[in-house]
Amino acid sequence: MNILITGSTGYLGAGLVSHLSSFDGIKVTGLYRSGHKRDKLLESLTNGQRSKTALVKADIDTDELSPAGIDTVIHCAAVRNIGLCEKNPEKAYRTNVRSLQRLLEDVKRSGVKRFIYISSQSVYGLGRDEADENSLVDPRNVYAKTKYMGELITELELKNREYIILRPSRIYGWGTFMNEDNFIHTTFPQKCLEGQPLKISGTGEQAFNIIHIKDVCRAVSKLIAAGFDKWNTTYNMADSKKTSLNQIAGCFTDWCGEKGLKTSIQYVREENVPKNIPNLKIEKLKKAVGWNPKNKLKEAIWEIMNKKIEGDFP
């Protein structure tokens, strides 16, 4: 099986390259823009994985793609930083919507059989206790709106092919490349190492779904192996229950205590704290392919911090 991954030198894309190239019978082609990131991704792979991986320089915003011989495309490339999308909505629309349209035209022209679109939990918006795949959407920012537009385009353009739309919650965990806008990867680790307090708005009890990158990759590989009856639909992806800011901060302070470092949690005035973030229901995905999230928050945060102090951090 030949799989093409867009955004292969992004956080999730690189994780999928590594995960899928470890399977017998799978060859991976990854699209990249940065030569430096290409080299780093290749260095992170084993010899066996490299022998089954081809990295091709291409810009989905401008280049015409010819995915001939590809069985499945996984579309990870996107402008995903919410702040950047708000500052430059034209760029967000160009990459997240127009480039997707062009990619789908290439997919149909080249005869690709299957397509996986990485959307986001953000399409559900706020103001409800939970959300399953049949819940009404309420995208409230530029990023969420472009991701939902991508869902609609995927469904329309690929109605005669096999597609899956994935709505993951906030993804975390060590990877070859790290999302710089994720406080679990950047702000909290840096404050710990500097001996500074971990600042939390409000009480810290506000909670949201997260999902470890390895659990995302496992779900994708299970879906790729699944039959037609599991396709042409949408799946949520998240841990089994929401996690609070206090729980996350507590894992960092525990690590600091183990290492003899001083840090604390500092509660600051509540400003613009999202409320009523819906809890993602994941029963549909669990039932479809027998998937369950396995990775634990504490172990993941300790891995991030250990990588940080060892200098093996993106």
> Domains along the chain?
2-174+210-239+278-294 (3.40.50.720)
Q: Is the pLDDT score of 250 beyond 90?
A: yes
Q: Provide the percentage of residues in the chain whose pLDDT is more than 90.
A: 85
Q: Residue 314 has what pLDDT? A: 60
Average pLDDT value for residue range 105-128: 94
Q: Residue 62 has what pLDDT? A: 79
pLDDT band (50, 70, 90) for residue 34: confident
Q: Is the pLDDT score of 313 beyond 70?
A: no
More confident site: 179 or 85: 85
Q: Is the pLDDT score of 254 beyond 70?
A: yes
pLDDT band (50, 70, 90) for residue 179: confident
Q: Is the pLDDT score of 191 beyond 90?
A: yes
Average pLDDT value for residue range 125-152: 96
Q: What is the pTM of this model?
A: 0.95
Q: Residue 149 has what pLDDT? A: 98
Residue 298 sits at φ, ψ, to 5 deg, of: -60, -50
Residue type, 152: L
- For residue 236, give the nearest of 169, 181, 185 by alpha carbon: 169
